[in-house]
Structures are given as C-alpha cells and as structure tokens.
Chain A
C-alpha cells in the first residue's frame, strides 16, 4: 500500500540509525575494543532473551567498578599484598575476556606481570592504564546500547 510521508521518513530514519549502528560496531572491532567473544554474546541473544548482552555487560560494569576500587585500596597500603592484587587482576582479566573487552583484558595481562615482580610503581601505572581502558570500553558500549535503543524506539530491528 502507499506509504505516507511520515512512514517514509520513519523508514529512512531507521535505516540511517541501523547503518550508524553497523558502522560503529565495526569500528569497535577494528580498533580492538571488542573481540570475537562479544560476537558470541550477541549470538546468545534472541527473542526469548532480548536483553542478554546488556545484562551481561552491566554485570561486567558492576564487577569491574568494585574490582578497581579494591585494587586502588590494595595498592595504597603501606605494605602491598601482591597476592591479593594479583587475585583481583586475575578476576578482572577473566570477566573482561568473557565479554570480549579485549583492551581491558590486555591491560590486565601486563598488570599481572608486574604483580609477579612485586613492583608497586609499575603496578600503580598499570592500574591507571586498566582504569583508562575500562573507561573507554564503558563509553563505547554505552554508546552502542544507546544506538540500539534509538533503533528500537524508531520502530526498527537491531541488525546483528
């Protein structure tokens, strides 16, 4: 049937948002923020579990924020318990790996090497690095989820 002007405009808007989404996702993979594990998460999402990715990533954010606080506190001690620091970093490495946050994971790997050396200064620098990578990753993922929301609100389907 003949589409009204409004419907045509809406279809165009959805198309633009979808293209934006696809391009943005591609850039995140290209720039190494996300890896194949994130794709695996997307594949686990379907009509019966439509918010799976957002839910898992939200758990990651909660987990990480707590771990970063614990790490800051641990490295601030007079006598640093490197075993504890390493345990926290190990956990963060695991969770970032599980959601495909590649750059965060890589920052954790470097961090663990300095834990082994028991080098407080280097560890502090690594912590800063991890915090930075996490902040970037969070920003990117929040932007991605916002785009998804906009597509849904415009009445479109999110291309996966």
Chain B
C-alpha cells in the first residue's frame, strides 16, 4: 500500500446545532470526550453563517474545516431538515456529512431525512455509543480522500520517472 499522506491524526471538527442550551452542553461533552473538536451554535441560521453560507451564496472560503454537522430536528425558525436541505443544495457544502437528532421516533421523518441526504438519524437522548458510530464514517472518508490524493501524486510521479516506491 502506498503512503497515505503526512499521517498526522488531525482532530475531526464537528459543528453541533441545537436551540436548547442543555442539549448543546450535552452533545458538546459527548463529542469532546470522543476526541472531536466542537463548535456549538443555537440555530440553523448561525450554522450556515459559520459555514460561510449567507443567503444561499458562498461568501468566503472557510479557514476552519468542518468534517461533520450534527443538528437537532425540532428547532424554531429553520428546522434541522431545512438546514440539511440547504447544505445538500450547496455545491461547496454538500459533501459534509449531516446527522439529524430527534427526541421523536417518527419513521416518516427519519425516511425524509435519510432521503434528503442525512448520514444518520440519532434518537435523543444521544448516547456515547451513538457518537462512537460517527468516527468510522469520518475515518473512512478521510482515508478515501488521502488515498485519492496519494494516487494523484503517484500518477504524477509515474509521468516524471520510471521509479515506483512500494511499501
């Protein structure tokens, strides 16, 4: 297998969205204890602002990379579903995995979210085991990205010289 980039394990950055301060405190702790870097906001609008999206146009290049968005479904104003949709409609943000949380087990709601592109639907109260399920998604995604970058480099190397490094 070829080298997979620099190999340093940068923390995954999660953007958590929930209008309840209690829920935000909980999800933040759950994520931090699982070694995620966390930014918590109290609305979908603030989430979009943080992601650099204002009025549905990408305003500026985000210096802070967000690897995952986890949002409550039931929020006043912009719901978690609305937020999911806006993210999936955005060319710059659509590849960020979105996870929906809800205290209500409504099959039609769950299906709607998954069909709109949500990665997972988590029933509240959120458990440590739920958060642990998120890491494999992110690690796999990162490995795929690094592999595709590494393959690009390999192809360029082949063009430049006859030598291939195997390990």
A interface list, Cβ under 8 A from B = 37, 40-41, 43-44, 49, 52, 55-56, 59-60, 63, 90-91, 93-95, 97-99
Q: A37-B125, A90-B74, A94-B124 are in contact. Are A44 and B30 (CB under 8 A)?
A: yes
Nearest-CB distance from B9 to chain A (Å)? 20
Q: A40-B125, A90-B74, A93-B103 are in contact. Are A98 and B29 (CB under 8 A)?
A: no
| Residues of B within 8 A of A (CB-CB), count | 15
Q: Select which of A49, A52, A63 is within 8 A of B20 by beta carbon.
A: A63
B interface list, Cβ under 8 A from A = 20-23, 25-26, 29-30, 33, 74, 103, 124-125, 127-128
Question: Interface of chain B, helix or strand or loop or mixed?
Answer: helix
Hey, which chain B residues are within 8 Å of A52, CB to CB?
29
A-B contact number at CB 8 A: 44
Nearest-CB distance from A56 to chain B (Å)? 6
Hey, which chain B residues are within 8 Å of A94, CB to CB?
20, 23, 103, 124
Q: Does the CB pair B124–A56 fall under 8 Å? A: no
Hey, which chain B residues are within 8 Å of A41, CB to CB?
26
Q: Does the CB pair B128–A59 fall under 8 Å? A: no
Hey, which chain A residues are within 8 Å of B33, CB to CB?
44
Q: How far is the CA of A59 from the CA of B22 in the complex (A)?
A: 6
Q: Does the CB pair A56–B103 fall under 8 Å? A: no
Q: Does the CB pair A56–B22 fall under 8 Å? A: yes
Q: How far is the CA of A43 from the CA of B26 in the complex (A)?
A: 12
Q: Does the CB pair B22–A60 fall under 8 Å? A: yes
Q: Does the CB pair A49–B22 fall under 8 Å? A: no
7 nearest CB pairs, A to B: A59-B22, A98-B125, A94-B103, A44-B29, A37-B125, A95-B22, A97-B125
Q: How far is the CA of A99 from the CA of B21 in the complex (A)?
A: 13
Q: Does the CB pair A91–B29 fall under 8 Å? A: no
Q: Does the CB pair A98–B22 fall under 8 Å? A: yes
Hey, which chain B residues are within 8 Å of A49, CB to CB?
29
Q: How far is the CA of A60 from the CA of B20 in the complex (A)?
A: 10
Nearest-CB distance from B143 to chain A (Å)? 29
